């Protein structure tokens, strides 16, 4: 009996051990399944088909020397554009006296600022016409035209006779030349930003595109410094008689240097790839103005609001501040110029930093900071400007510069990424220039009008707060584009090692939606579909057979 109990106990123990082993096995299997699910989530299953994966032949590797020439060629053009803006802005009071000498001081200021705004009336037309041509015949040709026409108009302004010599004809000729200048400028920034972003590697696009705006503020600062130097060197009478002409005439040698750099720039690889697709495909991709509006109205609207918010701040700091400090706050003109100059240089130095930050943390976060600081800092900035001390005024200008640094530095990398290659120049030209015409170029007139109408020097701050709020809301709906390929293009990298790493890690790279990239590239014609590759292979095999048969 005792032996039976022992046998029974042993059998029971074996049964319990087997049950424990089963439970342990089940737990291990569940743990392994959970680990597999976690691994699949972190490292998705790679695409099976050859045509559904990116290969080294799909990756555009940037030629460093070509990238440098492209950046130099676009930066000097933007330098020229903003050099003229700076010269005109800092000579606005003098120009009012030269071309409308019989009017009161207030009317002269409004006239000179109104003529400045007239430039921006022609910009949307130039953006549409030149943008459409840039998408059709190439970026490089249009950018050469814009540079030459801008420079010629600037030179001729410096040669115009004043009101005392030809009467009402003088302001009419000035307005006509500013319209020509505005038309050509309408294609400048859109084309330059399009070219730089299409040349730039995806992971560093924010930094390289921000260099475009470095050229803008350096051009503005150079114009401001030149005007300030003249005002300190010659008497006010000499400045009114002939000194104001010198900065405009100097545009000629500056333009020659800019044309030299720009002539060395070729059209971008993205544009050439689109052109090298079939002629029929490229033709179908090119959109008319109505097609552009119907197809991309959301993108156009977002770009319009972002440009309006950013350029209200930018033109306040650049074009309006000299008039505000000298006309409204009654500072000496030369003193007002010198207060603004170091702030402009600070902006130029900080812009590449915020461009690089957008590559690391994303465009949306940096643009959000620009809109948020514009909303919060504009009122304190204008309160500081009301104080008579130099330190307070300088502090107010610095506060205005902070949102400009965050906002403006990232427009050149953000806006072109909203549109595909075939419509990029046109989309940029329309949205950017329309927004600048309505909000940017008219900002000095609007703000001066608000001050005149209300009698309150803080009125411009509330206008900036309104536009910044609109920009803040728009940023929330913006898709993140940092470190991602431009729409309709294949990835672009800085070197071959980066290309190999990108191909090897494409299945777990959070910045790459491989399926969408390949689909868009095939639709735009920059990557051949499997069907087209098979057809070309069959055609090649047929050609080889016929050649052997002939032999």
* Higher per-residue pLDDT: 228 or 26: 228
Predicted local distance difference test score (pLDDT) of residue 96: 86
- pLDDT tier, 282 (very low <50, low <70, confident <90, very high otherwise): very low
- pLDDT tier, 224 (very low <50, low <70, confident <90, very high otherwise): confident
- pLDDT tier, 127 (very low <50, low <70, confident <90, very high otherwise): confident
* pLDDT, tens digit (0-9, with 9 covering 90-100), for 433-477: 889 888 876 777 788 788 888 888 888 899 999 999 999 999 999
Q: Is the per-residue pLDDT at 261 higher than 70?
A: yes
Q: Give me the helices (H) in 316-420, please.
A: 321-323, 333-361, 363-385, 390-408, 411-414
Q: What is the distance between the alpha carbons of residues 126 and 165, in angstroms, rounded to a whole number?
A: 32
Q: What is the distance between the alpha carbons of residues 484 and 493, in angstroms, rounded to a whole number?
A: 11
Q: What is the distance between the alpha carbons of residues 348 and 210, in angstroms, rounded to a whole number?
A: 10
Check: pTM over 0.75? Answer yes or no: yes
Domains (range + CATH), the chain:
56-267+290-477 (1.20.1250.20)
* pLDDT, tens digit (0-9, with 9 covering 90-100), for 231-243: 888 888 899 899 9
Predicted local distance difference test score (pLDDT) of residue 480: 92
Q: What is the distance between the alpha carbons of residues 185 and 124, in angstroms, rounded to a whole number?
A: 10
- pLDDT tier, 253 (very low <50, low <70, confident <90, very high otherwise): confident
Q: Which residues pair with 60 in a beta bridge?
A: 492
- pLDDT tier, 367 (very low <50, low <70, confident <90, very high otherwise): very high
Predicted local distance difference test score (pLDDT) of residue 363: 95
Q: Is the per-residue pLDDT at 358 higher than 60?
A: yes
Alpha-carbon dihedral of residues 251, 257, 260, 261, nearest 10 degrees?
A: -110
């Amino acid at each position: 009996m005792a032996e039976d109990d022992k046998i029974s106990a042993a059998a029971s123990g074996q049964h319990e051990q087997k049950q424990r082993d089963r439970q342990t096995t089940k737990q291990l299997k569940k743990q392994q399944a959970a680990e597999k699910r976690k691994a699949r989530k972190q490292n998705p299953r790679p695409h099976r088909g050859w045509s559904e994966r990116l290969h080294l032949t799909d990756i555009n590797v940037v030629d460093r020397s070509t990238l440098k020439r492209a950046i130099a060629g676009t930066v000097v053009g933007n330098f020229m554009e903003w050099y003229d803006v700076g010269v005109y802005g800092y000579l606005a009071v003098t120009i009012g006296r030269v071309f409308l000498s019989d009017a009161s001081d207030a009317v002269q200021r409004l006239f000179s600022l109104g003529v400045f705004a007239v430039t921006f009336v022609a910009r949307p037309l130039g953006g549409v016409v030149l943008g459409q041509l840039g998408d059709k015949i190439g970026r490089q040709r249009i950018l050469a035209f814009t540079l030459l026409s801008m420079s010629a108009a600037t030179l001729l302004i410096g040669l115009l006779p004043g009101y005392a010599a030809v009467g009402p004809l003088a302001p009419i000729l000035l307005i006509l030349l500013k319209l020509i200048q505005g038309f050509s400028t309408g294609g400048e920034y859109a084309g330059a930003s399009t070219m730089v972003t299409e040349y730039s590697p995806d992971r560093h696009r924010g930094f390289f595109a921000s260099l475009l705006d470095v050229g803008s503020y350096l051009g503005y600062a150079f114009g401001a410094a030149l005007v300030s130097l003249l005002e300190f060197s010659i008497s006010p009478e000499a400045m009114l008689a002939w000194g104001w002409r010198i900065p405009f005439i100097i545009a000629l040698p500056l333009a020659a240097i800019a044309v030299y750099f720009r002539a060395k720039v070729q059209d971008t690889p993205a544009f050439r790839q689109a052109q090298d697709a079939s002629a029929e495909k490229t033709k179908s991709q090119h959109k008319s103005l109505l097609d552009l509006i119907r197809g991309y109205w959301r993108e156009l609207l977002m770009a319009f609001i972002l440009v309006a918010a950013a350029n209200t701040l930018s033109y306040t700091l650049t074009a309006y501040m000299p008039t505000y400090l000298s006309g409204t706050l009654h500072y000496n003109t030369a003193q007002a110029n010198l207060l603004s100059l170091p702030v402009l240089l600070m902006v130029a130095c900080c812009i590449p930093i915020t461009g690089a930050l957008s590559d690391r943390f994303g465009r949306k976060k940096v643009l959000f900071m620009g809109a948020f600081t514009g909303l919060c800092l504009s009122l304190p900035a204008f309160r500081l400007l009301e104080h008579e001390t130099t330190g307070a005024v300088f502090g107010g200008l610095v506060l205005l510069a902070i949102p400009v640094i965050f906002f403006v530095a990232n427009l050149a990398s953000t806006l072109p990424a909203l549109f595909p290659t075939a419509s990029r120049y046109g989309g940029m030209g329309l949205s950017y220039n329309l927004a600048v015409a309505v909000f940017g170029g008219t900002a000095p007139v609007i703000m001066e009008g608000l001050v005149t109408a209300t009698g309150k020097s803080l009125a411009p701050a509330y206008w900036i707060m309104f536009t910044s709020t609109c920009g803040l809301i728009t940023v929330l709906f913006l898709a993140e584009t940092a470190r991602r390929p431009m729409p309709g293009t294949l990835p672009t990298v800085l070197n071959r090692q980066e290309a190999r790493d990108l191909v090897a890690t494409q299945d777990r790279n959070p910045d790459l939606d491989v399926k969408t990239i390949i689909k868009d590239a095939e639709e735009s014609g920059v990557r051949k579909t499997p069907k087209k590759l098979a057809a070309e292979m069959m055609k090649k095999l047929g050609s080889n057979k016929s050649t052997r048969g002939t032999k």
